[in-house]
Amino acid sequence: MSTRTPARISTPPAERTERTLRGSIRRHPLTWFFTLAYGLSWVAWLPYVLSGNGLGVWHVTFPGGPGGPGASQLTGVLPGAYLGPIGSALLIIALTEGRAGLRTWRSRMTRFKVGRRWYLAVLVSVPLALILASAALSGDGPAQPSATVLLAFLPGLAAQMVTTGLAEEPGWREFAMPRMQRRLGPLAATLAVGVLWGCWHLPLFLTDWGGGPDVAWTEPVEFVATATLFSFVMTWVFNRSGESMPLVMLLHCGVNNYFSVAGEDLFPGMSHADVTHAFFLASLAGAVVALAATRGRLGLPERQPARTGAAAG
């Protein structure tokens, strides 16, 4: 009596592709995060780079126009910034960790209870460090801030928190940093994330965001170096505050807000290059202090509690 071999049920190509893709993301979440963060942002920024705000290939100018980057950034830069780091992080967490991972992500994003001294320290130390660095470079003390600066400082900081802070930090610090630290330790992880974070901005130097399109090669190089140095301070605050993302965002946005609202008013004689050097100098000093004070641990405990999610990159 003959027997008939049951026919193999073939998996549709689309389902096989989905399984393969999900498996790859689960095995290499960091690789996928960095790839998507760069790819999605850079593609979204392409119209801005090609527009009248950038290379001028596309004869359209984003609101704000050449010479007015503040307004144009809202429509030209911010969509790509949201789409890249935070969008990629949420997508990968949802695919690899599901609802539990998203709840953990939300808990860190809303971790406001870290002590008033932390908020006071960040609010005071960021402008103080930048003022001292600017004074050292200019040779003059700061001018008395105008009433406009005083009135706009806190509202400007709040606006930066929901734009720059919310767009970037949930990806670079909340998603990437813990996973990188588990694999590489705090020093190598901070160096890697800092360089990748800085380089992510590079296409924007072809636009009025970075003073482009004709900028000296030294400017983006100095920017990446500054971002890397500043990342050592960011990592220390992230680790010591119990991974409080509101505090990390406040630290990042404090720098942006100082230069956007107060820097030119306090030091009117400083050039754009001087401002860039001041940020580099303040970041270098902060990195040295953080590394020396923590003996290179940057606030990371010797033994970390287990966290949800794969550690593979």
pLDDT in tens, 113-167: 888 899 999 999 999 999 999 999 888 888 888 888 889 889 999 999 988 899 9
| pLDDT at position 193 over 80 | yes
Cα 308 to the center of its chain, rounded Å: 22
Is the pLDDT at 65 greater than 90? The verdict is no
Average pLDDT score over residue span 74-101: 90
Q: Which amino acid is at 66?
A: P
Q: Note the pLDDT of residue 19.
A: 67
Q: Report, as an integer, the average pLDDT of 1-18.
A: 53
At 69, the pLDDT band (50, 70, 90 cuts) reads: very low
Give the C-alpha separation, 209 to 206, whole Å: 8
Give the pLDDT of residue 15. 53
pLDDT in tens, 263-287: 888 888 888 888 899 999 999 999 9
pLDDT at 312: 40
> Is the N-terminal amide bond of 13 cis, ω within 30° of 0?
no
Tell me: the pLDDT tens digits for 45-60? 999 999 988 898 988 8
d(CA 63, CA 82): 19
pLDDT given at position 4 = 54
The pLDDT of 186-199, averaged and rounded, is 96
| Cα–Cα distance for residue pair 282/259, rounded to 1 Å | 13
The yes-or-no verdict on residue 211 having pLDDT over 90 is no
* pLDDT (0 to 100) of residue 309: 42
Rg, Å, the chain Cα set? 22
The fraction of the chain above a pLDDT of 70, given in percent, is 88
Q: What is the pLDDT of residue 308?
A: 41
| DSSP H or E run through 230 | helix 218-240
Of residues 283, 293, 277, the one with CA closest to residue 252? 283
Which range is least confidently modeled, 72-76, 171-175, 187-191? Answer: 72-76
- 21 has pLDDT over 80: no
Q: What is the structure's pLDDT at 23? A: 78
Q: What is the mean pLDDT of residues 257-265?
A: 88
Q: Average pLDDT over the chain, rounded to whole?
A: 86
What span, in angstroms and rounded, lies between the C-alpha atoms of 300 and 193? 16
pLDDT in tens, 282-306: 999 999 999 999 998 998 887 654 3
Position 202 scores a pLDDT of: 95
Q: By C-alpha distance, which of 163, 161, 173 is closest to 253?
A: 161
| 212-246 pLDDT per residue, tens | 788 889 999 999 999 999 999 999 999 999 889 99
Please calculate the CA angle 267-270-271 and round it to the nearest 5 degrees: 150
Looking at residue 52, its pLDDT comes to 87
pLDDT band for position 67 (50/70/90)? very low
pLDDT of residue 70: 54
Q: Quick one: average pLDDT of 5-14? A: 53
